Amino acid sequence: MSETTHRVTINGLQANAGRAVRERIRADGEGDIARPLYHTSVQWTEGYQTLTKVKSGAVLHGDEPCAYGGAGLGATPQELLLAGIGNCLAATYIGGLSASGVKVNSLVLDVSGRVDFRAAFGVTSGNPGFESIQVQVSIDTEESPERVDALLAKLLPTAPIPDTIMRPVPLTVEVQHTGGATHG
List the domain boundaries for the chain.
76-168
Backbone φ and ψ of 62, nearest 5°: -115, 150
pLDDT band (50, 70, 90) for residue 4: very low
**Predicted TM-score (pTM) of this structure:** 0.90
Average pLDDT for 28-51: 96
Residue 18 confidence (pLDDT) above 90: no
Rg (Cα) of the chain, in Å, rounded? 21
CATH class, domain 76-168, is: alpha beta
Per-residue pLDDT of 127-150, as tens digits, reads 999 999 999 999 999 999 999 999
**Residue partners of 40: CB distance under 8 A and separation at least 6:** 52, 53, 54
What is the identity of the amino acid at 180? G
Per-residue pLDDT of 56-87, as tens digits, reads 999 999 999 999 999 999 999 999 999 999 99
pLDDT score recorded for residue 2? 43
Query: What's the rounded Cα separation, in Å, for the pair 15 and 100?
Result: 9
* Structure-model confidence comparison of residues 184 and 146, the more confident one: 146
Burial 144-169 (b: 16+ CB within 10 A, else e): eeeebeebbeebbeebebbeeeeeee
CB 77, CB 128: distance < 8 Å:
no
Per-residue pLDDT of 88-126, as tens digits, reads 999 999 999 999 999 999 999 999 999 999 999 999 999
Q: Which of 105, 119, 83 lies closest to 10, judged by CA?
A: 105
CB 50, CB 44: distance < 8 Å:
yes
Q: How many CA atoms, within 13 angstroms, populate the side-chain half-sphere of residue 118?
A: 7
